[in-house]
Chain A
Amino acid sequence: MLTLNAIHSYYGQIHALKGVSFTVEKGEIVTLIGSNGAGKTTTLNTISGLIKPRSGEILFEGQRIDNLAPHEIAKRGISQSPEGRKIFGRMTVRENLEMGAFNRKDQAGIRHDLAQILELFPRLRERFNQSGGTLSGGEQQMLAIGRALMSRPRILTLDEPSMGLAPILVAQIFKIICDINQQGTTILLIEQNAQMALSIATRGYVLETGQIVLQGPAKDLLASPQVRKAYLGG
């Protein structure tokens, strides 16, 4: 469904991705783990079109998307819940969710999805007309995921959804990610919390300084001594 082929991305002179290749198949949860500065966010932003790769290609459902503008990529069905949530603080929760459905015209479908997301995150219903900037970190994370879902994406990409959340909330968010996947949305999950991510994922990739160093079924990665040592504290 989504394939990256030898992607090289730069920030000016800084070579952030050095030939990243991986695939995500329909229906999977694929996780990309790695430590700080490994290039995870850069990978997602390259997929979303915010960063243009200097070489390599990205295919989505068989078509090249690496030359498209971000809004065109979003239109094709790739949505992102960005690192740090990036809620529109001066807009209400409602407007934030509606921004997620920016390119949709099927009003009935939008209303249906909105109801479903409020079902998934009841807290957002309570805060519906409150401005996004006044939500707590956890509520903002729910809003960011809800907003990304409002486009009814074919693939949902999540950048560290557990960042800064209390353990109980992390468990809740991961459970919801599983639910979303079960309802048919393919997921690319970026995490530093390797344990949690690998426990719900189908397959995983380990990124280190801009390169994929390990890959395989999530179960195997969880058991691998290399991963245990570097990411799971022994």
Chain B
Amino acid sequence: MYLFGRRIDASQIIVWIIGGVLFLLVLIGSISTLLTERYTVKQWLDFIIFGAAQGGIYALIALGYTMVYGVLRLINFAHGEVFMSGAFSAYFLAAALDKAMLLNRYPIPCLLVIAFLSAAVSATVAVCLERIAYRPLRRAPRLVNLITAIGASFFLQYTFRGLYGSGVEVYPDIAILKGDFWGIRKTLLVVCGSALAMLGILYAFIQGTKTGRAIRAISEDLETAALMGVDVDQTIAITFAVGGSTAGIAGVLYALIFSQVNFFMGFVPGMKAFTAAVMGGIGNVPGAALGGFLLGIFEAVGPSLFLDGLGIPAANQLKDVIAFTLLVLILIFRPTGLLGERLAVKRT
């Protein structure tokens, strides 16, 4: 059958119908919520700001997925654990600084040191992961790599559980981040700002530096990049280090908002960030940032916006459903992700 000059088959029509129904449900729910005026404008703004902060964290983690996918065509399922390793390790520094009464006396230098430590630990874990788990398998079939990634993910979770215990640790409070600024939680502003700044720095790094260009060259064509004199192994290690340190910063930002860390904290943000990377078009750096923010905001606004309107109780607990529904919708209508290119024309 032909539609709009394109050939389509029956399964595609069914998928589109499912997509259309989901889309309609979202629309009906939203309209009915908005008509009942259940929430004030201020409340909506709060949802959006919270979503943007959460989304900034997703975006930072998603960058690691997308960059590693770019150079190795590998979904690094252990990336959520890379994020956890930094945040969890930095907790001990934060607690020590708090005990020494330094954290609230010099909050900004302390936070920078904490972020630095977290980034360093995450980068180290990511680089070791590449060196030990992925590099020996560079020529192995992809399924082998995928299984290795999942194995590495469990390995890291339980290593950190062994190291730091299975309890939930609570990050110390930081006095200057308490309270509001123009009616918005200061923490959220700091998280949003830091995430945007990090994304900007990363973009400049990838577009503007020689190493960034080498990463892009490998993403396009590994062998030709090597012919140009790019040290492929080194550049791949740098990619893991960059993605890892970004995830480490995301870990500290996460701890600022949610105050809690434990060995399992990487799983859900990791899955969400992976979702964000796929939504944006895996392999595409601006796409990962866009996907992260979109997912964060959608997730924060969605339960109140359309689930309430549909009369679904306890809508807030369903935000994960929303995240993955959004993923399904995007993949139905744009299989390559929002900014992705057609995978078929890429190297296999």
Interface residues, chain A, with chain B CB atoms under 8 Å away:
48-50, 69-71, 74-75, 79-80, 82, 86, 88-91, 95, 98-100, 102-103, 147, 151
Contacts and interface: CB of A to CB of B under 8 A. Distances in A.
A209 B199 CA distance: 52
A79 B220 contact: no
A82 B224 contact: yes
A74 B217 CA distance: 16
11 contacts: A48-B227, A69-B233, A70-B232, A71-B231, A74-B226, A79-B227, A86-B223, A90-B216, A95-B213, A99-B225, A151-B229
Contacts of A88: 216-217, 220-221, 224
A90 B210 CA distance: 16
Contact of B229 (A71, A82, A89, A91): A71
A74 B227 contact: yes
Nearest to A157: B227
B224 A69 contact: no
Nearest to B224: A86
Nearest to A48: B227
Contact of A50 (B214, B216, B226, B229): B226
Nearest to B234: A71
Contact of B220 (A80, A91, A103): A91
A91 B217 contact: yes
Given A88-B217, A90-B216, A99 B226 contact: no
B228 interface: yes
Given A88-B217, A95-B213, A102-B210, A71 B224 contact: no
Nearest to B225: A99
A88 B226 CA distance: 13
Nearest to A99: B228
Given A98-B213, A102-B214, A50 B220 contact: no
Contacts of B229: 71, 74-75, 102-103, 151
Interface string B184-227: 00000000000000000000000000100110110011011111
Contacts of B221: 86, 88
Nearest to B220: A88
Contact of B213 (A75, A80, A89, A99): A99
Interface of B: 210, 213-214, 216-217, 220-221, 223-233
B232 A71 contact: yes
Nearest to B226: A70
A50 B228 CA distance: 12
Contacts of B213: 91, 95, 98-99
B232 A99 contact: no
B227 A80 contact: yes
Contacts of B217: 88, 91, 99
A48 B223 CA distance: 10
Given A80-B227, A95-B213, A99-B228, 20 more contacts: A49-B226, A50-B223, A50-B226, A69-B233, A71-B230, A71-B232, A74-B226, A74-B229, A75-B229, A82-B224, A86-B223, A86-B224, A86-B227, A88-B217, A88-B220, A89-B220, A91-B213, A91-B220, A99-B230, A100-B228
A135 to B, nearest CB: 15
A69 B226 CA distance: 8
Nearest to A84: B224
A79 B223 CA distance: 13
A115 B216 CA distance: 24
A147 B223 CA distance: 15
Contacts of A103: 229
Given A95-B213, A102-B210, A102-B214, A71 B220 contact: no
Given A88-B220, A91-B217, A99-B213, A50 B231 contact: no
A90 B223 CA distance: 16
Contact of A91 (B216, B223, B226): B216
A49 B220 CA distance: 19
A95 to B, nearest CB: 7
